[in-house]
Structure 1
Amino acid sequence: MLHLRYFVAVAEELNFSAAARRLHMAASPLSQRVKDLEHELGQQLFDRSTHHVTLTPAGTALLPLARDILEQVNAIPWRLREATKPQRSTVFLGMPAGVHPDLRDRVNALAERVRDRFELKRWPGASPDLLAAVQEGKLALALARMPVADPALDSLPVMTERLGAVVPADQFAGREAVSLSELTGYAYVASPEESTPAYFEQLDHQLTSLGIKKRIKLSNTGYGGVSEIISSGLAFSISMLDEASPMQLYRLENMAVLPFTDFRPELDTNLVWRRDRGDSGDLADLVAAAREVFAEPLTS
C-alpha cells in the first residue's frame, strides 16, 4: 500500500522532489521505493530525465488502478464502523388527535436523538386503540391521554393541558371567563365516543355532580359535529384552552373557548410503552432517550 501511495504521488506531481515534500520524506528514498515497485511489477512506470518525469504506458495504466485500490483501503475504517454498528430498526409511535405543537416538537427531538438506532415513525389513532396496539407490540410507544390503568404498561408524563368551556360566542360576548354555574341551563355535548379519551368519561360524571344534567349525544360526526351544535347555540363542550392547540382548528364562527372561574379541568398526556420491552428489552435504549427528551413535562 505504501509503494502505491508513493507511485500515485509521483504520478500526480511528475516531480520526485515535489512528491517527496508532499509525502514528508526525502527524494532519494522515494525514488528507491518507486524502483522497488517497478522491480516487483516487472514494468517501468516512469521515464526519467534530468529535467522531466513522465509516465510510461504501464504507469498510465497503473494510475487509475492504484487510485481505486487506495480509495478502497481508505474506506476500510468507516466501512468497518458501518458493518459493526447496531442495525437501525423502524419503530412506530402512536399519536392521538390534537397533539399540541410543542409536544410534537418533543417527538421530533426524540426521533433525532435516536436516529442512529431507530427510525421513529408516527401512527395516528384514538388513545384506546393506540394503547391496545402498544400492548400487542404493534407500536413501540404511544402518546396517550390519561388515565391508563394497565400494570403491563409503563408511562412518563409529558404534557398537561388546561381545558376551557367551548360556548356560543354570541351568548357570551365580551366575556373573558365563565363559571360552571352559568352553564347549568345548557346541554353538554361530548366528542363522539370513538374519539373520546377516558378522561372525558370521568369529566362527564363530574359535570353531572356539579349540576350539568342535560346531554347531547353524537355519533359518527367527529369533532366537526360537536362544533356545529355549539355554533348553533344549542350546547357547550370542553376542549383545550390554548390557542396553539390543533383542536382550535375545529372552531366555527360563533364559537369561543373561555377559562372557567370555578372549575379547573386539565388533560394529561403520557408517553406509554410496554414495561417488559422498555425495562431491559428491545426498546430499552429508546425509552432511555425518551426519559431524557421528556424529562420536563410541558404545560399549556
Structure 2
Amino acid sequence: MLHLRYFVAVAEELNFSAAARRLHMATSPLSQRIRDLERELGQRLFERDTHSVALTPAGSALLPMARDVLDQFSSIPWRLREATRVQRSTVLIGIPPGLHPALRSRVSALTERVRERFELQRWPGTTPALVAGVREGRLALALARMPFSDPALEQVRVMSERMGAAVPADRFAGRESVALADLGDLAYVAPPKDVRPAYFDVLDSALADLGIRNRLDLTHTGYAGISEVVSGGTAFSISILEPESPMQEYRLENVKVLPFTDFHPQLDTALVWRHDRACGDLKNLVAAAREVFDEPVLR
C-alpha cells in the first residue's frame, strides 16, 4: 500500500521533490521506493531525466488501478463500522465556515427527514479537510466550496453566491458599485492559504489577468484580519454580497461590499459524497440529501 501511495503521488505531481514534500519524506528514499516497485512489477513506470518526469505506458495503466486499490483500502474502516453498527447510527456531515442560513436550513431538514435511521451531526472544517474526510469515510456527506476534484467522490452544486469588492467605506462613500479600475491603488488581500477555498486561487489568477497585481499576503489570521486591513484604507478583498451571509459578521465599521460592474465572481457550494456510498448502506441518506438539496440556491 505504501509503495502504491508513493507511486500515485509521483504520478500526480510528475516531480519527485514535490511528491516527497507531499508525502513528508526525503526525495532519495522516495526514488528508491519507486525503483523497488518497478523491480517488483517488472515494469518501468516513469521516464525520468534531470529536467522532467513522465509516465511510461505501464505507469499510465497502473495509475487508475492504484487509485482504485487505495480507495478500497481507505474505505475499510467505514465499511467495517457500517457492517457492525447498531440500527440507528451516528453519521457526520461536514460544514464549511460561513455557511449560508439557507443551506443550514436544508441541513436541518435533512436531519429531521432521516432521524429514524440516522443521527446526523455537523462537523466543521475547511474544504480540503472536509473533502478528505468524505474520501476517507469519516464523513458521510459534506458541503464544500467548489472547485475540487477527486475521482472517488460525487458532487452536485447546491448554492451560488455572488461576490463583490470589500473596500474601505470612507473611500467609496456614496458608491453603489465599483469597477476594477477604481481599485488600482489598493492592494488585493485574499484569505490566508490555510483557510481559503480553492476558488480564491482562481480569483487571484483572474484578477492578475485583469491588471490587479498588487498583493498583500496575510498569515496567522482569518477573515477578521482581512477586515482590519481593508478598514485601514490600503487594501480590498473579495467577499459575499448577500446581506444574510455569515461572512458579513466579519465586516468592520469602515468596510462595505460593493458589486462589480466589470467582474462577476461567485462562490459555489457543493454537496459531496463517495460514489460507492450512494449504493451501499448509506444509500437512503444520500438519496434523501439529494432530494433536500435538489434545487440550487442562487443569491
Return the alpha-carbon distance in structure 2 between the equivalents of residues 185 and 128 of structure 1: 33
The alpha-carbon deviation at position 184 of structure 1 amounts to 2.0
Partner of 1:110: 110
Question: Structure 1 counterpart of 2:243, which letter?
Answer: E
Q: Which residue of 2 aligns with 1:269?
A: 269
Aligned twin of 2:189: 189
RMSD, aligned CA = 0.9
Which residue in the other structure is 1:92 paired with? 92
Amino acid in the other structure paired with 1:190: A
Name 2:289's counterpart in structure 1: 290
Counterpart Cα distance in 2 of 1:152 and 1:213: 36
Q: Per-residue CA shift, 1:46-101, capped at 9, x if unaligned?
A: xxxxxxxxxxxxxxxxxxxxxxxxxxxxxxxxxxxxxxxx8111000010100000
2:130 is aligned to: 130
Distance 1:96 1:282 in 2: 25
What SS does the corresponding residue of 1:115 show, helix, strand or coil?
Answer: coil
1:131-156 Cα deviation digits (max 9, x unpaired) = 11111111111100001211110012
Shift of residue 243, structure 1, vs aligned partner: 0.6
1:114 maps to amino acid? V
**1:105 counterpart SS class:** helix
Cα shift readout 1:180-207 (whole Å, capped 9, x = no counterpart): 1211221100011111000110110100
User: Which stretch of structure 1 is more off in the superposition, 175-184 or 208-217?
Assistant: 175-184
- Number of aligned pairs? 214
Q: Which aligned pairs between 1:1-300 and structure 2 lie closer than 5 A?
A: 87-278=87-278, 280-300=279-299
1:275 to partner: Cα distance: 0.9
The code of the aligned residue for 1:260 comes to F
Quote the Cα distance in structure 1 between the aligned partners of 2:166 and 2:212.
14
Q: 1:11 aligns to what?
A: none
- Ranges of 4+ aligned residues in structure 1 off by more than 4 Å: none
- Code of the residue aligned with 1:269 in structure 2: it is T
TM-score by length of 2: 0.71
Q: Separation in 2 of the partners of 1:264 and 1:209?
A: 14
Query: Structure 1 unaligned runs (5+)?
Result: 1-85
Q: How many angstroms apart in 2 are the aligned matches of 1:181 and 1:103?
A: 34
**CA deviations over 1:202-229 (Å, ceiling 9, x no partner):** 1101000001010000011111110110
Matched AA of 2:143: L
Structure 1 SS opposite 2:194? helix
Give deviations 1:269-293, integer Å, cap 9, x for gaps: 0010111112x11221011001111
- Name the aligned partner's letter for residue 160 of structure 1: S
Aligned AA (1:298): V
SS of the equivalent of 2:225 reads helix
Q: In the aligned structure 2, how far is the partner of 1:153 from the partner of 1:226?
A: 32
> How far apart, CA to CA, are the structure 2 residues paired with 1:182 and 1:234?
13
What is the CA distance between 1:253 and its match in structure 2? 1.3
Aligned equivalents of 1:131, 1:184: Cα separation in 2 = 36
Q: Secondary structure at the match of 1:195?
A: coil
Work out the CA distance in 2 between the residues paired with 1:213 and 1:185: 10
- Normalised to the residue count of structure 1, the TM-score between the two structures is 0.70
Equivalents in 2 of 1:254, 1:148: separation in Å?
Answer: 34
- In the other structure, the counterpart of 1:74 is none
Unmatched 5+ residue regions in structure 2?
A: 1-85
